[in-house]
Structure 1
């Protein structure tokens, strides 16, 4: 490997390749994003509630599988204090497709748009989907990168723990 490439990797690698799981135990980065109905939603307005944030994109097949399952979880636990934010990472030119996908999948939770990728960078969302659980104190307690059948069981277990604290 040329020396310059090795130096660049050593200097830039850790800053670029920090896994999202390093946020566990840290205060959740606050954000405000516009939802598809035009309302601005701010994470810090939900202090004292358990929050699940799901980062997704229209090009992500596992995201399409996971979203209806998250909607079931949301329907079951929202009265117990669950807040769910769905953060779409598509480009601004593709927001209509994102709206259509969420509508087709009949999600009932808020869909927020992060076309500038500021929130996804704060949460180090390099894998899609990325699911983040935040406790009532605003601390990131669990992160799941990607999705495979059965992951929703883990979300439910972690969610129950947080709702019972």
Structure 2
């Protein structure tokens, strides 16, 4: 009799544990699916939580580069100009961060070429600062308008699914980049 009671209690414990485990796993799966669906349904825009608007610009080398080329990677989208003192202060931090994290994070620097005196200033700047991350030219200022850039520099921190997670207006340093990008998938 005592063995039967112990067996019944053991079966009940297993049933309760199995039900709890099943319910917990299903709720976690549902939550993950909801988060993925929310990202897939994210509105295209320039605010946190929006899917970053895609664009295509020419790289310094002349080849076309699309923002969507970097889907699947975390991205710092940086708008800058050579004549901008905070941009100049920020670039060594960008380069160091890129070199330290290039397997996980891409830096895409959009030069506000329409604000430059001459295009050769950009090439000289890139050489002077020994920049190795991709640099594209916004020759018409259309992308700066699309992203409503009014402070130089401006950086958008974008997750691997193309969703804007953070926006910085003004120069940021290495530690800010590291802290922000470590929180992004």
- CA deviation after TM superposition for structure 1 residue 93, in Å: 5.5
1:75 aligns with 2:86: no
SS in 2 for 1:58: coil
Superposed structure 1 runs of 4+ greater than 2 Å apart: 90-93
Tell me the residue number matched to 2:159.
Answer: 135
Aligned 1:111-130 pairs, distance under 5 A:
111-130=135-154
Contact 2:71–2:161 (CA under 8 A) maintained in structure 1: yes
Q: Flag structure 1 segments of 5+ consecutive residues without an equivalent.
A: 1-21
Q: Which has the higher contact order (CA 8 A, sep 6+)?
A: 1
Count residues with an aligned counterpart. Answer: 140
Tell me the residue number matched to 1:48.
Answer: 72
Q: Return the TM-score normalized by structure 2.
A: 0.71
Q: Flag structure 2 segments of 5+ consecutive residues without an equivalent.
A: 1-45
Q: Return the TM-score normalized by structure 1.
A: 0.79
The structure that has the greater radius of gyration is 2
Structure 1 vs Structure 2 CA RMSD:
1.7
> What is the CA–CA distance in structure 1 between the aligned matches of 2:88 and 2:137, rounded to whole Å?
16
Tell me the residue number matched to 1:38.
Answer: 62
> What is the CA–CA distance in structure 2 between the aligned matches of 1:28 and 1:86, rounded to whole Å?
15
> What is the CA–CA distance in structure 1 between the aligned matches of 2:109 and 2:71, rounded to whole Å?
18
Deviations 1:8-56 (A, max 9, x none): xxxxxxxxxxxxxx61111101011101111111011211111111111
